[in-house]
Structure 1
Amino acid sequence: MAHVRRDKKKLLTRIRRIAGQVAALERAMETEADCSDVLIQIAATKGAMHALMMEVLAGHLSEHVVAGKTERGRAEEARTIMELLAKYAR
């Protein structure tokens, strides 16, 4: 996945931000924060994970489906993405 290697610094920055959000969520739980604050932190963390997923998925689609070298390879990658999206949507 050349796109992941190429965008490694940007993706790691996103991942570290998500780790900070998860740590804040853990602190909120440990300190018995108000449930609305916990819910807001959960939503923010979920949104950040979703944005990361979409960024990596967009790169994957561009490099492995749209620009795939063979019709068979593109079809296999498309199937893989469909399976991934089915799992992700659960």
Structure 2
Amino acid sequence: MAGYTASKEEHLRRLRRVEGQIRGLERMVDEDKYCIDILTQVSAANRALQAFALELLEEHLAHCVAEAVAKGGAEADAKVKEASDAIARLVRS
């Protein structure tokens, strides 16, 4: 079971909202809206995706990584490295 399974419906709702924001951006470009207004909406969509990513990361750490660390060994090391790499990608984006 994935670490996010318990909150899957909430995650799907959040992603649908982001999808709606992206469709809104498409409409804004299609309707030749003011550049700054579009950039403001891009910023909002980015923040929404970042919030989703952080929540998912938190659940991954609490479930998948914690479980692997409790077992110990190479799997624990691999999960910690995997989580570190994911954090690095999020920080760079």
TM-score (norm 2): 0.86
Please give the secondary structure, in 2, of the residue aligned with 1:46.
Answer: helix
Partner of 1:13: 13
CA displacement at 1:85 relative to structure 2: 2.5
Q: Distance in 2 between matches of 1:56 and 1:84?
A: 11
Q: Distance in 1 between matches of 2:25 and 2:15?
A: 15
Q: Does 1:78 align with 2:87?
A: no
Q: Distance in 2 between matches of 1:74 and 1:62?
A: 13
Q: Distance in 2 between matches of 1:4 and 1:65?
A: 13
How many percent identity over aligned positions? 28
Q: Does 1:4 align with 2:4?
A: yes
In angstroms, what is the RMSD of aligned CA positions? 1.5
- Counterpart AA for 1:41: Q
Q: Distance in 2 between matches of 1:47 and 1:15?
A: 12
- What do residues 56-78 of structure 1 show as CA deviations (whole Å, max 9, x unaligned)? 00000001223433223222111
TM-score (norm 1): 0.88
1:4-43 equivalences under 5 Å are: 4-43=4-43
Equivalenced residue count is 90
Please give the secondary structure, in 1, of the residue aligned with 2:4.
Answer: helix
* Structure 1 stretches lacking a partner, 5+ long: none
Please give the secondary structure, in 2, of the residue aligned with 1:2.
Answer: coil
